[in-house]
Amino acid sequence: MQNIAEFRIIGRVGKIAEHDKVTKVNVAANYNRQDNGEWVTDTHWNEVTLFGKLIERAAKAQKGDLVHITGRVRQNSYDTAEGKRYTVELIADGFAVLAKGSEDRD
């Protein structure tokens, strides 16, 4: 049996950054928690990396759009003068716009 690390995010687009052969999409996801008996909402930002045909789909998305993104988790490490550094990347294999954001969003 193959071991896997997957993710699913349903959230709002914050920023889309297009690079040479990759696009990075920042997506806000909200989580509720109790704080002193009161429910509060925390917003967590997730940077997702898109390749290939998913870049074309992301090009149709705009800030504020509600999106559904699925993919795999990739962990990397590299050495620096200060020591070993670790990163976690979210690599998309699915991207869909669920609802357009309102036109007056900044």
**pLDDT band for position 25 (50/70/90)?**
very high
Q: Which domain holds residue 71?
A: 4-87
pLDDT value for 1 = 81
Q: What is the pLDDT of residues 34-73, one digit of tens each?
A: 999 999 999 999 999 999 999 999 999 999 999 999 999 9
Q: Are 90 and 48 in contact (CB under 8 A)?
A: yes
Q: Is 94 part of a structural domain of the chain?
A: no
Q: What is the pLDDT of residues 84-95, one digit of tens each?
A: 999 999 999 999
CA distance readout (Å), 98 to 2, 7, 13, 45, 79? 31, 17, 11, 18, 40
State the total domains in the chain. 1
67 strand-pairing partners: 11, 97
Q: Is 27 part of a structural domain of the chain?
A: yes
Q: Is 29 part of a structural domain of the chain?
A: yes
Q: Is 104 part of a structural domain of the chain?
A: no
How many percent of the chain have pLDDT more than 90?
Answer: 89
pTM for the structure as a whole: 0.83
Q: Is 92 part of a structural domain of the chain?
A: no
Query: Which CATH number goes with the domain that contains 82?
Result: 2.40.50.140
